[in-house]
Structure 1
Amino acid sequence: MSLNGTSVADIRQFNRFYTNILGLLDKHVLNTGYSFTEARVILEIGFMGQCIANNLVDKLDIDRSYMSRIIAKLSKDGLLMKEESTSDNRTNLIRLTPQGIELFNQLNQKSDEQIESLLQGLSETEIKEIHTCMLLIQRKLERLI
C-alpha cells in the first residue's frame, strides 16, 4: 500500500504538533536540566528497577556509544550506580541512586501533570476519544516493530 502525499504530510504535521506541545525539543525537559533522551533513560531505569545498558539500547533504540556517554554523565551526576552482576561478571547492572529515584519521581509526576494540564479544557468524552485514538495508533504501529 502506498500513502498519498496528503496522508504523509498530515502525519508529519501531527508529529511536529505533538512534539511541540510536549516541549520535547526544549533543551531541558520539564525544567530538570536534562535532555529528553537523558530523561527517558532515567525513566526507563526507574520503571525497570535495574537493567543492563543493552536493555536501554534496545528499548530506546539508541546508539551504544551514545548510551554509554549518557550513562557516564548520569553516573557522574550521582543519579545512577553500576554494580557487577552476580550471574555474569562481564555485565554491570544499572540502577538509580536515591537521588536518581527522586528525579525519576519528579519526572514521572511532572509528566503526568503535563498531560493533565494539556487535556484540562476538554470534556470527558473528548479525553476518552483522544485516549482511544492514541491506544489505536500504538497498537497499529507496535505490530511493525
Structure 2
Amino acid sequence: MTDTPEQTRVEQLAEYLCSEFDFSLDPCVGYSWPEHPNDEGYRGDGNWVKLQPSDVQAFARENAERILAFLSTSKPVAEAVKVKPLEWNAPDSWNLANTVLGTYVVRPCLATNFTGQFLMCRPGDEDSVLFPSEDAAKAAAQADYEQRILSALESKP
C-alpha cells in the first residue's frame, strides 16, 4: 500500500511533533517513529529500536492532520493570486507595456560603450536601469510590476 502525498505529509509532521514538542502528546524520549505501516522496530542485523506507542502515534497524526488542514486553507496572497504578464508593444526599437501603474519602457542603450545592452524605465521613475539583454530588462520590469501589484494586496482574515 502506497501512501498518498497527504498521508506522507501527515506522517512527517506527526514525527516532527513527537521529536520536537513536549506537551500532552507525551512522546517517549529516545523512541523512534515507525518507518512504514507494519514497522515493529526491527532495523536488521539483530538491531531493534523502540517505537513511539500507538496511542502517541495516533494523537500526533490527528494533530498533524488538523495543522495541515489549517495551513492549506490559509494561503499567502502571492500563492492565491497571479499577476498577469506585461503585454509588450514595440512600435519601433522601444518596447512599451502600458499598465494601471503607468508605462514600462525597455529600449536599446544608445551610448557607444553600452552597445547591445538595454535600459528599463519603471512608471513614475525618471531613472533607467541598465541590463545586458532585452529579455533581462523585460524580466526585471515584470518582477517590479508583480512586486508593486502584490504589495497592495493582503489576505482575508
Regarding TM over 0.5, the answer is: no
Rg larger in structure: 2
Higher strand share: 2
TM-score (norm 1): 0.27
TM-score (norm 2): 0.26
Higher helix share: 1
